[in-house]
Structure 1
Amino acid sequence: MLQRIFSRAILRPVLSCNLPATGMSQYGPQYVDPVFKKETITALEETGEISQIANVPVKAARHNDTCSVFHSDLVSQFINYVMKNGDKQLARQLVEKGFENMKRLQLERYHLAETDEEKQSIELNPKVLLSRAVENCRPVLQLTPIKRGGVRYQVPVPITEKRSFFLAMKWLLEACREKERTIHFPEKMAWEVLDAAANQGKVIKRKQELHRQCEANRAFAHYRWS
């Protein structure tokens, strides 16, 4: 009996010790992230910071990192939001067909334009149109519920950059899926992106409505710090 109690007393501190839950990495703290984009390299050369990382060990680049001029982080993120059930190949095909429809519609407008000024104002690159549409749809403020004195107020707060990009693309996809089921997704995507790039459409109205609600609830803004 005494031997059993003695053995438990010895094992108790060993069993109750908590090990740190830190992630393991094959790279030490002296390793830096890889620089693979030409824009980043040019910016480092202009500031002179590239000489500081010239002789520093570098981590291996990820499999989806690329220095291609045709790669766009925004398009890749948009494809991930379109994807359902992990079928990324289908999502990529749908977005590419949507880009084709956008290019076809813009070319029709380009050939119907009468003056050179109108033709120069028409953007033909679908990636630029998507970037412009997302930038126009990004909200500046959002409403967050805060409870004070048993009452829940809708308080306007600034939105982070990552969250604003997420909401813009989420609203674009929701507007595409709210249209008629008889119309294919690439056509709906082309219409919504072109409308948003021209600062029109449902998503722009939704952003403006959110800003109006934030303006109406600005009297509760001080609850954010209280």
Structure 2
Amino acid sequence: MSFLTRIVGKSTSFSGIRLMSVYPQHYVEPIVQKDKQIEQKDELTKLHHIPIKAALNKSSDTVFHDDTKEKLLNYITKKGNSALARTLLSKAFELIKRTQTERLNLAKGDKDKVITNAEVLLKQAVENCRPLLQVTAIKRGGVTYQVPVPITTKRSYFLAMKWLLEAAREKERKVSLPEKLAWEILDAAHGQGRVVKRKDDLHRQCEANRAYAHYRWS
């Protein structure tokens, strides 16, 4: 057992010891993207004398960086094989691009409504899939009630991408993951598919149990 491990194990007796990777509470999160720095220029002037956390190694200010895509990439990754996950996601985006380009060429009406950018379609799919409420079990007087509660924005995005991946992995195994994921993203971006139905069913369940909402505060 190393010296650092022994110290961490005895952290209850030495309350003043803190791991070096943990920042104090008054440190603020860094803003890496230049477009966000321009948008929040007035806010950034207030942080001149406040210490800022170091940016992560994977952070980038390039125009090709997208937070939603990076999060989905992390959720696809298994056993640290991020190179394979990036290849699978790139193939899925390629299939989306090909499908939308074909629809654009076959469209007879307004072609401006056909979106060929896979990253924009991914954002639309996540927005259409993310829930606003969820039910949680709360026990009162020996009876367990399914109580609807709001969820945070961060968790709603996590659930949306998790459901997209689960729906793609539940399909038949003869079809590759990029193809299944591409069709799930396309269906969700157009407001249909199993993931959107799952979100609607959850909201319907919350609506049916709205009479128990007061148990959140009791």
TM bracket (short chain):
0.7 to 0.9
**Aligned mates of 1:28, 1:216 — CA distance in 2:** 44
TM-score by length of 2: 0.87
Structure 2 residue matching 1:166: 3-state secondary structure:
helix
* Most deviating of 57-66 and 191-200: 57-66
Q: Deviations over 1:11-36 (max 9, x none)?
A: xxxx9x92115333697888654432
Residue matched to 2:59: 65
Kindly tell me: are residues 225 and 109 of structure 1, through their superposed partners in 2, closer, same or farther at Cα, counting changes over 3 Å?
same
**Aligned mates of 1:58, 1:145 — CA distance in 2:** 39
Name the count of aligned residue pairs: 207
| Deviation of 1:59 (Å) | 4.7
The one-letter code of the counterpart of 1:137 is: C
2:34 to 18, 34, 38: 38
Q: Deviations over 1:137-183 (max 9, x none)?
A: 00011000001111111100011111111110111111101111111
Q: Percent identity?
A: 55
Kindly tell me: are residues 158 and 104 of structure 1, through their superposed partners in 2, closer, same or farther at Cα, counting changes over 3 Å?
same
Kindly tell me: are residues 153 and 51 of structure 1, through their superposed partners in 2, closer, same or farther at Cα, counting changes over 3 Å?
closer
Residue matched to 1:19: 14
Residue matched to 1:79: 73
**Aligned mates of 2:52, 2:201 — CA distance in 1:** 47
1:108 to 87, 102, 105: 102
Structure 1 residue matching 2:20: 3-state secondary structure:
coil
Structure 2 residue matching 1:67: 3-state secondary structure:
coil
The one-letter code of the counterpart of 2:107 is: A
Structure 2 residue matching 1:19: 3-state secondary structure:
coil
Residue matched to 1:136: 128
Q: Deviations over 1:52-92 (max 9, x none)?
A: 44576655432111100100111111011111122111111
Structure 1 residue matching 2:145: 3-state secondary structure:
strand
Q: Are 1:92 and 2:92 an aligned pair?
A: no
Between structure 1 and structure 2, the one with the greater Rg is: 1
The one-letter code of the counterpart of 1:22 is: R
| Deviation of 1:202 (Å) | 0.3
**Aligned mates of 1:26, 1:207 — CA distance in 2:** 36
Kindly tell me: are residues 141 and 18 of structure 1, through their superposed partners in 2, closer, same or farther at Cα, counting changes over 3 Å?
same
**Aligned mates of 1:72, 1:225 — CA distance in 2:** 38
The one-letter code of the counterpart of 2:129 is: C
**Aligned mates of 1:220, 1:59 — CA distance in 2:** 42
Structure 1 residue matching 2:165: 3-state secondary structure:
helix
The one-letter code of the counterpart of 1:136 is: N
Structure 2 residue matching 1:104: 3-state secondary structure:
helix
Kindly tell me: are residues 225 and 68 of structure 1, through their superposed partners in 2, closer, same or farther at Cα, counting changes over 3 Å?
same
| Deviation of 1:94 (Å) | 0.3
The one-letter code of the counterpart of 2:63 is: V
The one-letter code of the counterpart of 2:38 is: T
Kindly tell me: are residues 211 and 32 of structure 1, through their superposed partners in 2, closer, same or farther at Cα, counting changes over 3 Å?
closer
The one-letter code of the counterpart of 2:136 is: T
Residue matched to 2:187: 195
